[in-house]
Amino acid sequence: MTRNSLPISNALGKRWLRSAQKDSASFPGISATRQMLRKRILRYRTLYLFLVPAIIVVLVFSYVPMIGLIMAFQEYDIVNGMFRSPFVGLANFRALLRDSGFYRALRNTLAINGLYILIGFTLPVALAILIFGMRDSVFKRVTQTITYLPHFVSWVAIAGIVYKLLDQHTGLVNVVLKAIGQQTVPFMRKPDYFWWITIIVAIWKELGWDTIIYLAALSGIPPEQYEAAIVDGASSFQQLIYITLPSIAPTVALMLIFAVGNMVSTNSPISFDAIYNLRNAMVSTKSDTLDYYIYQQGIMKVRYGFATAMGLFRGLVALLLVMGTNALSRRIRKFGAF
Is 83 near other proteins (CB under 8 A)? Answer: no
3-state secondary structure 76-90: CCCCCHHHHCCECCC
Is 50 near other proteins (CB under 8 A)? Answer: yes
Name residues whose C-beta falls within 8 Å of residue 317's C-beta, 6 or more positions apart in sequence: 264
Q: Which of residues 245-284 bind other proteins (CB under 8 A)?
A: 266, 272-273, 276-277
* Main-chain phi, psi angles of 87, to 5 degrees: -80, 140
Q: Which is nearer to other proteins, 112 or 278 (CB)?
A: 278
Is 208 near other proteins (CB under 8 A)? Answer: yes
In one-letter notation, the amino acid at residue 250 is: P
Work out which of 106, 287, 304, 325 binds other proteins, going by CB under 8 A.
304
Is 78 near other proteins (CB under 8 A)? Answer: yes
Distance CA 198, CA 201 (A): 5
Q: Which is nearer to other proteins, 26 or 219 (CB)?
A: 219
Of 131-139, 182-190, 191-199, 241-249: span binding other proteins (CB under 8 A): 131-139
Work out which of 204, 229, 253, 328 binds other proteins, going by CB under 8 A.
204
Q: Which is nearer to other proteins, 199 or 307 (CB)?
A: 307
Q: Which residues pair with 106 in a beta bridge?
A: none
Of 55-63, 95-103, 109-117, 185-193: span binding other proteins (CB under 8 A): 55-63
C-alpha angle 194-264-297 in degrees, rounded to nearest 5 = 70
Is 203 near other proteins (CB under 8 A)? Answer: no
Q: Which is nearer to other proteins, 108 or 210 (CB)?
A: 210
Burial letters 4-41, b for 16+ CB under 10 A, else e = eeeeeeeeebeebeeeeeeebeeeeeeeeeeeeeeeee
81, 144, 216, 324 from 132: Cα distances, Å: 57, 11, 10, 32
Nearest distance, CB of residue 164 and other proteins, angstroms: 7
